[in-house]
Amino acid sequence: MIGPFLLAKKIVTLDYVINTHPHQDHLVGLQHVLQYFKMWNFASGPGGLEPGEIRNTLNARKVPASTVQAGDALYIGGTDVRILVSIFLVLIEYKQLLARFAHHER
């Protein structure tokens, strides 16, 4: 799960939480992040977010939610991130950026 990793790096606020696709194996960790971390924005990939516990948590915490797809752009931490083909590919690049940033913070 991503929660313990973020806490170990002393990350408690997230500019964006992005769910690439609503597979059940992603939703448990996502629900944990939504409940215990401060966040400013939430985005989901094509198909959007289905009604349920995650949408209820977002609404209760007043986190704005949007759907993103190829051609969209997000402004994250002072950087424009453009969705080119697949949001999954953008997330891989962002995870690598996060890993480099976390490494330099030590």
- Residue of 23, 65, 15 whose CA lies nearest to 44: 65
pTM of the model: 0.69
> Residues 19-38: what's their mean pLDDT?
77
Q: What is the rounded distance in angstroms from the CA atom of residue 47 to the CA atom of residue 19? A: 11
How many domains does the chain contain in total?
Answer: 1
Residues 6+ apart with CB under 8 A from 33: 2, 3, 6, 14, 17, 39
Range of the domain at 19: 2-105
Structure confidence at residue 66 (pLDDT): 86
Q: What would you report as the CA-atom Rg of the chain, rounded to the nearest whole angstrom?
A: 13
Residue 73 pairs in a beta bridge with 82
- What was the pLDDT predicted at 26? 64
